[in-house]
Structures are given as structure tokens and as C-alpha cells.
Amino acid sequence: MQPLISEFSYGFVLTQELASGILGSLTGAPIFPSLREEGQAGGGYDVQIPLVGFPLYLQFKLSDHLSRSSASEWSVFGEPYYRMHLRPLRHSDQHNLLLDFERAGNAVYYAAPEFHTQPELNSAYIGNRVALESRFFSPLAIGPLPSQDAHYVAFNPPGDDDLPA
């Protein structure tokens, strides 16, 4: 099932929660680059959260929820799971930009929710659990994409069984 929330809503509530001080003090307001800046070298991210000591860079992604036993990775997880899609290289250099930015020593992550509906988003937001109910994936841990085609990361909450594909 495709997500029933918007990437903007998810990114807003996650940014608000992280900027509230749960990771430490900030040196300023979160920075959202323009689309032009996001597509240039040193970019690829949706927000910079200027934490004291190091800025945190996040690229927001939504999660498809797969709950049928016929789903591609059902045999791996044996239960419902989520899938975070990466922008295909034929359409965007986003993943390569994030790889380069992380290789340069920056704290860069994809952030994806372990939920997909508005009531789940509301519950996580009201309970200050958006970050706890999200998964963070290092572009370097995903690695270079092997082709220009579509790719994704499959995961089940909570767990360590992340599966890049």
C-alpha cells in the first residue's frame, strides 16, 4: 500500500521533533535548501539541522507498506514490512550527491517512517515518537546503486533486517 501521508507532513513533524532538542542544542534554525541547491554538489538533502558540534542532514522518504505474502521480500521478513524508494539515477543524481556528501565527513541519512497512514502520523506526532518510529539509513551503508533503474530499501519495524534492493 502506498503511503497515505505526504512527504512534506512527515518531514515537517520529524524536523520539529529533532529541532526540539532531543539530539542536543541547535546553533540556529533548520535550513531547507531550494530545489536548485538540493540538486547541486554538496546537496541532495531536504534539511540541515544545525546541531552544536555537527550539522545533521536528512533526505525524507515515505514508506510503502507491504502486507501480502506475495510481496517481494515476504520470504525474508515473514511479516508485513516497509519499502523506501530511492530516486532512480536516470532521473536524479540525488543518491550520488548524498554518497559524496557523506564521504566528505558529513552526517547524512535518509529518513523514512515506520508508518504510512495519517492516524499513525498523528499518534507519533502527539506522542513525540516520530524519530523513534522512523528509520535512518546512511547512503554509504546502502552503497552505490548498481544501475540506472529503480531501487529501494526494505525494512520491518523495529529491527536490524534492512534489505537494500
- Does the pLDDT of residue 59 top 70, yes or no? yes
Q: What is the mean pLDDT of residues 11-23?
A: 94
- Does the pLDDT of residue 42 top 90, yes or no? no
Q: What is the mean pLDDT of residues 27-56?
A: 87
Q: What is the mean pLDDT of residues 32-38?
A: 81
pLDDT at 159: 52
What confidence tens digit (pLDDT) does each residue in 140-164 have? 999 998 888 889 999 987 654 444 4
Residue pointed to by grid coordinates 518510529: 133
What confidence tens digit (pLDDT) does each residue in 111-120 have? 999 999 999 9
DSSP letters along the chain, please?
A: ---SS-HHHHHHHHHHHIIIIIT--BSS--B---HHHHTSTT---SEEEEETTEEEEEEE--EEEE-STTSTTHHHHSS-EEEEEEPPTTT--HHHHHHHHHHTT-EEEEEEES--SHHHHHHHHHTT-TTTTEEEE-HHHH---SSSS-EEEEE-SSSS--EE-
What confidence tens digit (pLDDT) does each residue in 69-105 have? 999 999 999 999 999 999 888 888 899 999 999 999 9
Domains present along the chain, CATH in parentheses? 7-164 (3.40.1350)
The residue ranking higher by pLDDT, 40 or 50, is 50
Answer whether 0.75 is exceeded by the pTM.
yes
The sheet that has 54-60: what strands, in order across it? 47-51, 54-60, 107-113, 134-137
HSE-CB for 13 with a 13 A CA cutoff: 23
- Does the pLDDT of residue 165 top 60, yes or no? no
Q: What is the mean pLDDT of the chain?
A: 90
Q: What is the mean pLDDT of residues 47-58?
A: 95
